[in-house]
Every structure is written in C-alpha cells, then in structure tokens.
Amino acid sequence: MKSMTGFAQGRFNFKDFSLFVSFKSYNNRYLETNFRGSGISAASEKLIKEMFKDKLQRGKIEVVFDLFQRGSRQWDIKLNTGLLEEIMDKIAPLQKKFGPGLNLSLDSLFKLPMVFHLDHDPELLSPQDQLKIKRAIAKIFASFLESRRQEGQCILKDLLAGIDKIEKYSKSIHVREKDFEKEVFRNYRRKIERFVKDMPLDEKRIVQEAAISADKTSIAEEINRLRTHTQRLKRLLQDKHIATQGREADFLTQEMQRETHTIAAKTSCLDIHRQILLIRREIEKIRQQVQNIE
C-alpha cells in the first residue's frame, strides 16, 4: 500500500553544473503533475514523466527541477536592442522636460521580459552530463516512492486495527441478533393479546403474524453483508497486486455505512444501537484514512 502524500529532495554538485530536485505529492482523485524550476524543458519533463509510468496512479505531484550551469556557451542570452533604443528615444524628451526627478535605470529596463531574457539550454549538456542528471533524478524519485510506501504502511496498520474493531462489534451484534428476533416475536404477541383481550384468539394466526413482524425487523441479512464488506476490505488492503486500492476501499466503506444505517433503522434494541455507533465511528475513521492512499 502506498500513500498519496510523500516528499523527497536532493542537491547535487557536478563539475560544470549544479542540480536541485524535489518531489512532493498531495491527495488528488487523479494523477496531476506540476513542474517548475530553471531546468524545466520538454526533454526534462518527458524524462520525469517516463519515471512516473506504472509507479504513480493518483495524487497531485509537484516537481522542482533547478539546473544551474557553470560551463561556457551554455547560456541563452536575448537582448532586444531595437526595442531598448526605441524606449530610450521615448524617455529622452521626458528626462529633458522633468529633469533629474525622472530616473529610469538600465537595471529597470532589463527587468522587462521583452527587452532582456537570460536562460540556459539543458539540451546543450553532453551525453555524460545528461546521464548524471538522469541518475540524480532517479535517486530522488526512488526516495520519494519510499516515503509514500512507508507512510502507506503506517496507514495500513491503522486501517487493519479499525477493521478488527468492526469485526468484533459485528460479532457482538450477531450474538444479540437471535435474542432480538425472539424479543420482537414476544412483544408483537403481547400487543395482540392486549388489544383483543376477551375476544377468542386464533393461536396459529397470532404466531404467523408475530413471525412476519419478526422477519420484517430481522437484521441478519444486513449483518452478513456488513461482515462480507469488512472481509473484502481487509483482503483488498492487504493485496499487494492492486495498484489503486483507495477508490475501491472508499466504495466499500460507503457500502458498510449504508448497512449500519439499515440495521439502526430496523432495530430498537439499545445494545445493538450502541454497537452500531461504535462501528460507524470506526468506518468514518477508515474513510478518512483511505482518502490518503493511492
């Protein structure tokens, strides 16, 4: 099991360049990737996305990729001299009119993206340097996956503990279920006898109506479905071959909650209601936790 949240980062210094890489992920219904950093290019995005293949299924992934090159002839410098001269021509008359109070330095002009742009081209790196970058990214990505796996194992431990409690409470309800049906049968018969009083009674009809009433309030089927869903959830969470456990686990917890609502609606037994409240509490905890798993 893997969590959808994780983090890993690393800084690497090589002869002609330095590199900073970080991966951070949050909960998300689908896989979403955001890139930022000075070294992001079509090639670097493609390289990182290929690493994601079959490794990540869900989550919002933030990738920072900062590459600073120290080698010569690797910088892409763009200076729009024509635009700069035109701007200066427009400013000169204003400076004569307003005097020293109007001061616009070249530093301010160079901050305009249309005038000056400084960047580097990662594609100019040698094949050896590109291999170093690939290995560095792979190392941080492996640490990132491990952080998600470790957090997933902690979540799994909590989930299994919650499932064990649900199974224990379900067994208590199952034991109480037969007594509850007998109690319903007796109560229904007493009501009939109280209302008809001195009128002649058809014993068979009373038994038949009491049995029908007890059957309508029977919670045996709901308890069996709840136990089936619980066992299925447990197997799902422990299955290492399923990549996206979170979605199915969320669906199963919804089904489990639905069964507890039906049981609570069909029974008036206070002891069973107390057990149902405990089960609902554990299911809600599990629902919150499965939102974090992939």
CA nearest 215: which of 266, 150, 279? Answer: 266
pLDDT in tens, 51-60: 998 899 889 9
- Break the chain into its structural domains and give their ranges: 6-73+123-148, 75-120
Class of residue 44 by CB neighbours under 10 A (exposed 0-12, middle 13-18, buried 19+): buried
Instruction: Write down the pLDDT at residue 196.
Output: 66
Mean pLDDT of 25-46: 87
Tell me what the mean pLDDT of segment 247-268 comes to.
89
The pLDDT assigned to 1 comes to 85
Are 145 and 5 a contacting pair, CB within 8 Å?
A: no
Res. 34 pLDDT band, cuts 50 70 90: very high
- Residue 99 has a pLDDT of 67
Q: Using the predicted structure, report yes or no on whether residue 239 has a pLDDT greater than 60.
A: yes
CA quadruple 165, 167, 170, 176: dihedral positive or negative?
negative
Phi then psi for 284, rounded to 5 degrees? Answer: -65, -40
**Amino acid making up residue 272:** I
Averaged confidence pLDDT in the chain: 82
Structure tokens at 80: 């729009």
Q: What pLDDT, in 10s, does the model give residues 68-91?
A: 876 555 556 677 788 777 877 877
Percent of the chain with pLDDT over 90: 38
pLDDT value at position 85? 79
Given pLDDT bands bounded at 50, 70 and 90, which one contains residue 4? very high
Given a cut of 90, is residue 270 above it in pLDDT? no
State the pLDDT at residue 176.
76
Tokens of 97: 């009119």
Residue 128: what are its φ and ψ, rounded to 5°? -65, -45
- Which one-letter amino acid corresponds to residue 11? R
The position carrying tokens 């008359």 is: 93
Distances in Å between the Cα of 116 and the Cα atoms of 67, 76, 77, 84, 154 are 20, 11, 8, 9, 51
DSSP annotation of 68: E
- Between CA 50 and CA 56 the distance in angstroms is 11
pLDDT of residue 215: 62
| Helix or strand (DSSP H, E) at 6 | strand 6-13
Structure tokens, 176 = 């109480």
pTM above 0.85, yes or no: no
Least confident stretch, 3-12, 156-165, 204-213, 257-266: 204-213
Q: Model confidence at 103, in pLDDT bands (50, 70, 90)? A: low
Q: What pLDDT, on a 0 to 100 scale, did the predictor assign at position 54?
A: 84
Cβ partners under 8 Å of residue 180, min gap 6: 217, 219, 267, 269, 272
The end-to-end CA distance of the chain, in Å, is 8
Measure Cα distances from 210 to 179, 198, 223, 265, 269 in Å: 15, 19, 22, 19, 17
Query: What is the per-residue pLDDT for 208?
Result: 67
- Looking at per-residue pLDDT, the higher value among 70 and 170 belongs to 170
CB 130, CB 17: distance < 8 Å: no
CATH fold, domain 6-73+123-148, is Ribosomal Protein S5; domain 2 (3.30.230)
Please check the confidence at residue 19 and state whether its pLDDT lies above 80.
yes
Share of the chain above pLDDT 70, in %: 76
Q: What is the pLDDT of residue 212?
A: 65
User: What is the Cα–Cα distance from 134 to 126, expressed in whole angstroms?
Assistant: 12
Q: How confident is the model at residue 211 (pLDDT cuts 50, 70, 90)?
A: low
Q: Which residue has the tokens 């990214």?
A: 137
Q: Which of 91-95, 186-190, 284-288 has the highest mean pLDDT?
A: 284-288
The mean pLDDT of 15-33, rounded to a whole number, is 90
CA–CA distance, 137 with 122 (Å, rounded to integer):
14
Tokens 């038949």 belong to residue: 208
- Separation of alpha carbons 1 and 239, rounded Å: 8
Average pLDDT over residues 119-148: 85
pLDDT band at 37; cut points 50, 70, 90: confident
Contact 37, 30 (CB under 8 A): no
**Is the Cβ–Cβ distance between 223 and 262 less than 8 Å?**
no
Residues in the chain: 294
